[in-house]
């Protein structure tokens, strides 16, 4: 691991710690900064998924609740003017959906 990678890892670890602390104090993170972090994290996740990372979040959802997910996904779809039907059609046409062996809501 190069010095840059070590520094980047420490920076990401620090950012994760700040975000974790902000869960109980949301006002400590500026709204625009949060939107930027979220946008970049989504783009990075998509890039990694397209490069072969097809494992969803940890089996426990990484602490994300169903309500957290519904709120965030609804806002993302609204921001991009995408309807749920369009998402379903894209998944069907692209084959980009969770395979049965990757599902975390059913046992193997």
Q: Tell me the Ramachandran region of residue 64: left when phi exceeds 0, alpha when psi lies from -120 to 50, beta otherwise.
A: beta
**Dist CA 25 CA 23 (whole Å):** 6
State the pTM of this model.
0.76
Rounded mean pLDDT, 48-62: 78
Q: How confident is the model at residue 80 (pLDDT cuts 50, 70, 90)?
A: very high
């Amino acid at each position: 691991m190069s010095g840059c990678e070590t520094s980047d890892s420490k920076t990401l670890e620090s950012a994760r710690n700040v975000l974790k602390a902000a869960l109980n104090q949301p006002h400590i993170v500026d709204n625009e900064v949060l939107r930027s972090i979220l946008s970049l994290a989504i783009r990075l996740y998509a890039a990694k998924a397209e490069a072969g990372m097809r494992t969803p979040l940890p089996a426990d959802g990484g602490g994300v609740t169903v309500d957290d997910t519904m709120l965030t996904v609804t806002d993302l779809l609204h921001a991009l003017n995408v309807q749920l039907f369009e998402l379903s059609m894209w998944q069907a046409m692209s084959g980009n959906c969770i395979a049965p062996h990757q599902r975390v809501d059913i046992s193997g």
